[in-house]
Amino acid sequence: MSVPAVTRRALAPLAIVTAAALLFALLLLLVRLRWGPLESADHLAAARLNSLIAGHPLVVSVVKAVTWLGSSGVLWTLIGAAVVLLAIRRRWRLAVYLLVTGAGVLTLDPVLKALVGRLRPVVAHPIAYGNGDSFPSGHALGSIVCYGALLLVFLPATRGTWRRGFITVIVTLIAAIGISRLLLGVHYVSDVLGGWALGITWLGLTAFAFELSRHAAGAPVTDPVTEGLEPEASADLRPAEPEMTMDLHDRARGYGRTAAGVVVIWVLIVGVLTGIGKLIMITHNGNGNLLGDHTIPHWFAAQRTATLNHWSLIASNLGATQDILIVSVVACVAFIAVTRHWRPVIFLAVVMFGELTAFLLVEDIVKRPRPDVPHLDSGLPTSAFPSGHMAATTCLYVGIAILVIGHARGWWRYLFLIPAVVMPVMIALARLYRGEHHPTDLLASVLFAALWLTATTMLIKPNKDGLDRAGRRPLGLPQRKAAEPSRESESATVNPGAA
């Protein structure tokens, strides 16, 4: 490649970042001054775009699902999971980069919104409502910064078609999130363009700062847009090692048999649980005193105090969907980072997805009323049998204990049995205290968890990759240490005169 071509390639990102900064500065000035032509165009576009989906519930649901992917909760969960993976793989510079880049959004968005003070659009058919001021769009800014940073960090892990697909998915997702804000009528076009322009500027600045840190450390200069921030980290950025034990055909057959077995067992367990629930209802024990179903909730209700109400809410929320999802994601990232195998992640994902679908199906069929005591939680969308909080908590923390004990070595791995016991007990007490479940609801959830965890452990064999012929050994980090000399020798081969 000629020198002018290399120069043009190096200057292209700088030109893009500069153009984005100028565009944002122009939009900021025009919006702050309430320039008439821009205000008129923004209001007209907001009304027309909002009218495209108003009155179409299915389309509205899809658009809201897309905009949810740009919410701060989703973005910070992804950033946090990536930081955990990078920290475990000891790629500290990349982990710090993600934290600093993401933290910039937390500062820029509220400061600029307060500075500009632009009100949200008022449309004829309100579909959603945004919090705070309008310029710039926080979803547009957050999505382009967070998803863009993840792209720059993990780009070296992909090659060829996978790399092109990765880039296409990220760019499409960022565009879709910004457009969703326009369709929902919560932002003007200039808000979204301003968020994108500011996001590109901030990404460019942080990437440039990262390159300076590499240069100070003596690392070679790279092109972050095409190579990623640290091309030499590609081995550590790949989530898992390829399985070389069987050919593709044999693996597909093995996976198919395992999947079929999991589905069959799930159906049988759901049938057993549904049968128990229907038997309780048929025998008129929906609010009877079977195994203390009447006495125990009333006893707990009589012990209520303001302090216990507060702490029971905290404990109960630990088994709620959001908390369970966050712990599940963090656990999956930690296991893939340490073990470098997909099997533990697949096990945990199957366990939790199976629990969720079983709970929703059984409670909808059984429709058991909640205990006849005052409920401290209002507007619960599901019925009492079984307890979703109890089933999810038991499956998650016992599942994590199974994986840790199977993959780690040393006495400390058995400490994970403590949350596997304490968390379900705490959730059970909190749900009984708050008057949301009968004791048999909780017992049914424990029965489901025991059967489901046993079946999935036997079929998926999540700890299979944690053992070798010599016995038990830790995975992941020790392998990286062993691999580092080969990387050094490889670099020495590429640049023999460096010594």
- For residues 183 and 49, the answer to whether their CB atoms sit within 8 Å is yes
- For residue 471, what are the β-bridge partners? 468
Question: Could you tell me how many residues make up the chain?
Answer: 499
159-180 per-position pLDDT tens digit: 888 888 888 999 999 999 999 9
Look up residue 476 and give its DSSP letter. S
Look up residue 56 and give its DSSP letter. -
Highest mean pLDDT among 109-123, 130-144, 266-280: 266-280
Give whole-number Cα distances, 416 to 189, 263, 336, 340, in Å: 50, 28, 18, 21
63-93 per-position pLDDT tens digit: 888 998 888 888 888 888 888 888 888 888 8
Can you tell me the distance from the alpha carbon of 191 to that of 138, in angstroms, rounded to the nearest whole number? Answer: 9
- For residues 396 and 449, the answer to whether their CB atoms sit within 8 Å is no
SS3 label, residue 468: strand
pTM: 0.72
In this prediction, residue 3 carries a pLDDT of 44
Between helix 92-116 and helix 72-88 the angle, nearest 10°, is 160
- For residue 467, what are the β-bridge partners? 472
For residue 487, pLDDT beyond 50: no
Mean per-residue pLDDT over the chain, rounded: 82
SS3 label, residue 471: strand
35: CB partners within 8 A, 6+ apart: none
N-terminal to C-terminal alpha carbon distance within the chain: 27
Sort strands 467-468 and 471-472 into parallel, antiparallel or unpaired: antiparallel
